[in-house]
Structure 1
Amino acid sequence: MARTILEKLLIVLYVVTVVLWLISMFTQGWLVYSIDFGDQTYATFQMSLFYYKNCLRKVCITKLGTDDDNLEESMPTWTEIQSLSITAVVLCAVCCLLFILSDPYFCKKFKRTITVFQIILNLHAISVLIELVLIIRMTVYNATEAQNHYNSISFKVPYSIIIAGVGWLAGVNGCVVGYIHHSSLKKNNREREGPNQESTAYAHTVRHTDQPPPYGQPPLEYTNVHAPPENYSMPMYTK
């Protein structure tokens, strides 16, 4: 069974979403700023979801992010942002694997029923919502930090949030394409069930009409329709 265009597009969107979310997870662009000390000395700060790097005069220190070492009060906890990102990536990756493994072209033992496909769509929608919460939380944190700091601190573009946002758009498109494909599958099933129900009803009617004749009566196909009636008497001819 060949894959349809919608199925191929879904696989591409799932893979793109997972890859972009993985890239954003480990890049140091969730919070980026530099501090100008006025004597041509700059300090830079870069943050990923698992660690942050602070550089001063070409000397950089990298530390693992823990809840005991929160950077600011307005910052979400490290556990929160890490759990949101990991959950979204894992759910989307599971959806991608389930969709590929349930393809008859790839694996004939595991059939992709409408129920299985509905589960895949729901899990993917949940992953998209979780990633959206993460993006909103970190965007609000960046905006809050930019308002509460001095002019000597210049905030850079949080490129990791942008990468995650592009992946989120791919995930939303995956949801839309998935539900369109789901609707087409349900429509095709209804069209296939229609002729099957008619043939089943016809077979049921044939079984009811093909009943044995009453006791003592010959079958219909052996009844002589040209035989005279029972009370018929031969006419008498006289010379």
Structure 2
Amino acid sequence: MASISMATVVLLLFCLTFALWFIALVTPGWAVFKSDSTENEYQMSIFYLRVCNYGECEVHPYKLTVNTFFNAFMYETQVETFLATVASGICCIELMRNSENPTSTKVLIVAFIFLFAEIMECIAAIKLIAPSIVFAGLSSMSFKTPYSAILAAVGILTGVSGWVMNFVQYNRMRNRVTQSPTSDQPISLNNEPTRGNDVISANGSKSDQV
């Protein structure tokens, strides 16, 4: 019963991580700041920059920007976050399938796939959050809550928790296999008689002699 409840918790944590990362992927809240001089509000997404002024917003894809280095930087980030989100979704599907026929091998495969997803999301989050913090300290612009970055960070924490519990579940399943009840049963090699059979045969030989 404990293993079933742990598997359910792992599935919920992984699905929650996927949901948080997906929302962070499609929302323009990785960096939200407002210019004090122009009154423009800039909302940074993974795929575009949205500029709003008095309720009217314009979307500017990063591929149209002049800075080639920035375009390459954002393209790498897009690939990393997309791979992380897709990998976490695959883990959720595999866990649902594994619930019907749980095996330690499937649990281990999910652990490796989700570890890859965690690494990709951490790299992307650090690349986007760290420059925003530095820029916020040096700029005169007013910064607002980067809700997409917060969602991604919470997803990383829930993902780490789910990954640890998934690994604990793997160890329990491995121990259950090695400590199965069949290993406690006596094993007869080469059809050798047991001591009980020796006593019976000895008594039988004595009776025959009498």
TM-score by length of 1: 0.75
Name the amino acid aligned to 1:203: S
The answer to which of 53-62 and 88-97 deviates more is 53-62
Name the amino acid aligned to 2:147: Y
Relative to structure 1, the CA distance from residue 226 to residue 124 in structure 2 (aligned partners, 3 Å threshold; closer, same or farther) is same
After superposition, the C-alpha distances for 1:147-198 in whole angstroms (9 at most, x for unaligned) are 443x2x2122211100100111110110111111111111211110xx4244
Relative to structure 1, the CA distance from residue 173 to residue 119 in structure 2 (aligned partners, 3 Å threshold; closer, same or farther) is same
State the identity as a percent: 24
Q: How does 1:28-107 map to 2 (within 5 A)?
A: 28-37=28-37, 42-66=39-63, 69=65, 77-104=73-100
* Residue 146 of structure 1: aligned partner: 136
Tell me if 1:169 matches 2:157: yes
Name the amino acid aligned to 1:5: S
Q: How does 1:1-239 map to 2 (within 5 A)?
A: 4-37=4-37, 42-66=39-63, 69=65, 77-104=73-100, 111-149=101-139, 151=140, 153-192=141-180, 195-199=181-185, 201-204=186-189, 207-209=191-193, 225-228=206-209
5+ residue gaps, structure 2, are 195-200
Name the amino acid aligned to 1:30: W
Name the amino acid aligned to 2:36: D
| Structure 1 residue 76, shift from structure 2 partner | 6.6
Name the amino acid aligned to 1:4: I
After superposition, the C-alpha distances for 1:25-76 in whole angstroms (9 at most, x for unaligned) are 1111112111122xxx51111111111111234432112222x526696787
- Whole-angstrom CA distance in 1 between matches of 2:115 and 2:131: 25
After superposition, the C-alpha distances for 1:105-133 in whole angstroms (9 at most, x for unaligned) are xxxxxx33212211111111111121111
- Whole-angstrom CA distance in 2 between matches of 1:148 and 1:224: 101
* Equivalent position SS for 2:29: coil
Relative to structure 1, the CA distance from residue 225 to residue 165 in structure 2 (aligned partners, 3 Å threshold; closer, same or farther) is same
State the structure with more CA Rg: 1
| Structure 1 residue 3, shift from structure 2 partner | 6.7
Tell me which protein shows more helix as a share of its residues.
2
- Whole-angstrom CA distance in 2 between matches of 1:227 and 1:147: 103
- Whole-angstrom CA distance in 1 between matches of 2:67 and 2:133: 15
* Equivalent position SS for 1:203: coil
Relative to structure 1, the CA distance from residue 16 to residue 225 in structure 2 (aligned partners, 3 Å threshold; closer, same or farther) is same
* Residue 237 of structure 1: aligned partner: none
| Bigger RCO (CA 8 Å, 6+ sep) | 2
Contact conserved, 1:70 with 1:78, CA < 8 A, in 2?
no
Contact conserved, 2:30 with 2:146, CA < 8 A, in 1?
yes
After superposition, the C-alpha distances for 1:78-113 in whole angstroms (9 at most, x for unaligned) are 211111111101111111111111222xxxxxx332
5+ residue gaps, structure 1, are 105-110, 211-219, 230-239
| Structure 1 residue 226, shift from structure 2 partner | 3.1
Relative to structure 1, the CA distance from residue 115 to residue 227 in structure 2 (aligned partners, 3 Å threshold; closer, same or farther) is closer
Aligned residue pairs total: 204
